[in-house]
Structure 1
Amino acid sequence: MGEYIRGVVVKLHLTPEQEVMFKKNYGCTRKTHNELLNKYKAKYGDDSTKIPTKTELNQFLNESKEELPYLRQTESTSLQQARDDLHKAFTNSAKSKRHHPPKFHSRKKTRPSFRQTIRQDKKPVENNTVTLRKHGEIEFSTSVENLDLLNSPETKFNNLTVYYDGLKHYAVFNIETNPPEQLSLTEEHIGCDINSNKNGWLVTSDGQKEFFDVDHDNQMIKHINRLMSRCRKGSRRWKKLQKRLQKWYNKRTNQLDDYIEKLTYQIVKKYDTIVFEENYSTIKILIGGEQNMVFPLSRFIKRLKDKFQLYKPKADGVQFVKSKNTSRTCHHCGHINKELDVKTRNWKCPNCNKILDRDVNAAINILNRWFNGGSLKNT
């Protein structure tokens, strides 16, 4: 068995008693995080940059259990995982400025979740049933492929994270299994230009344009929000609309995740190299012309890098080039049209009279710059 770590998500089917226990565990995990952080700030001050040791945090945890006896009634390893997560957050904030110092978890902004460790000599899954400490046996549903993977004797379980999305409870198994079969090299390369979703948020040097349309979802979310504004907060109709709103939020998020996973795999399978402009992270892509959802470009690029490393480690993978004049330069003759404005989507080269699509032309120039040795990063 290889050391390939992956996550498998399953949908849990709880009894009413188990659902009450889960909600208690969610609350105790969040309370533990806040109590440990509060004790740290009381000892070192709000502006302290000192990283607490695991021994200190463990002492804070024991003190919290003495002060709040109901913490002892929940599953113990989930509280220990909250302690370890807090220590990791302190460590990451000290290493990099990208990571902010740990903050208190609020009930409204924090997704309810807890994580349990799994003993190495124990297999928690049997058929479509998972056994959790303190919660007993719980039935779950997933795809046939994931079910076979979880029941395989070669699969090693590390831990299990349970979370609540506002409607349903899910579990994420962290497992070690055999790595997937690597893809063969195709010797195909592609350049990509990033735009607004109106003209295709991703335009390739082959002339393909990718669109991601969730405009209907956005309109439904707006409609339900308007209906909720006319209801008394906490009323039966308001609660019913709240569940309906959460359903549309979850649907939109799931569509985006599924779209990113499928598109990145298709690109990696077909091409050995994909070239972008270096300023991809500064471009905001509006979905359906609305500003309430921005396409996560950084996550899309990261998934591409991960899939290249997993399926094609010998390929050039994701590359970056400088973005200056990629749209204004004619890829046919090299003439730079300095008079080209942003609103013009199709233009005629004044030098060679070739009619160009602005975005496809930019994608071709991006690929040509990489071929001419203009790569900025290698992955």
Structure 2
Amino acid sequence: MKENLPLTLLHQIAITLIPGVGDVLAKNLISYCGSVEDVFKAKKSHLLKIPGVGEKVASAVVNFNGFNRAEQEIVFIEKHNVKPLFYLEKGYPIRLKQIEDAPVLLYYLGEGDLNNSKIVGVVGTRKASEYGKACVDNLVEQLAETGCLILSGLAYGIDIHAHRNALKLNLPTVGVLAHGFDRIYPSQHSATAKKMIETGGLLTEFMSGSNPERENFPKRNRIVAGLCDVLVVVETADKGGAMITAELANGYNKDVAAFPGRVNDEYSKGCNKLIKSNKATLITNVDDLYYLMGWNNTRPKPKVQQTLPLDLSQADLEIYSFIKNKTKAGIDEIAYALQIDSGNLSLQLLEMEFKGLIRTLPGKYYELT
């Protein structure tokens, strides 16, 4: 092992290289072992007691010999000023911390705030029509006043159109990649990607040398779905990457919006299908998006002294106090601040709503009654 290399980062990269260990299992290993370094120090007998770890995985951990590759990646990221973001560390995106299968380790190039107060994902077909481009033009232009971050996948069509519009309007925009930082795919978007790094950025879970393989794109899509507050599907067929991203966003309890299209248009079938199946809210302009997300809910409310029930748990009191101090708060924000699992938090919030303590606002925000 080379001298002067950061050992913690070395192990953070190494755990992503263990055969048979995905993001969920990696987090489980770290949780049971105590730290990422201790995973590699654990005895096989101890590893076999960890849920989800069988003979094959335990052997892969104790016999791991990929530290040289991890060392090479450290040299690469230091040379190119890439920021590694580990899921237990401060710089990791708050919204992704709540996603069970979010990457253990991300690589980031750029200056944009991945914890921007408003993140809008924009996705759609690679074969964007003039109608689809016009929807993106209007949406991004009207979002400019919010200072939100525009998130997409740097692909042809809707993705690149959203990124370029954001750059034109000085909005931060981040592209999530399905490959490592030693290339840009498609290469025609390299100039745009370079500009994005200045005020936004590029994000990937893939090490240098990783090709844009077919199986990488659904993995890329889950980051887009998990990182945004709302996913806007502009134009898509009834199958494809945008539809996968919408399904993932629904599974992550994110808001999904879609622009409707003509019933016979091939690349409006997906949007119409999402709307028809109640998997997306129909929007035609940014006001619809504001309403969905509660971003225009600025009317002052009269302050009323709330009488709390005596049977509130300590967890309920912590949630109540947090929302009270913030006036209104989103579910991801509450979960991160109070370190509560998002599934359990949803149940607690529902119980508090039944007790008349809080009410739900559009966009999965909550306020006191």
Q: TM-score, normalised by structure 2?
A: 0.26
Which one has a larger percent strand, Structure 1 or Structure 2? Answer: 1
Q: Report which structure shows greater RCO (CA 8 Å, sep ≥6).
A: 1
Q: TM-score, normalised by structure 1?
A: 0.25
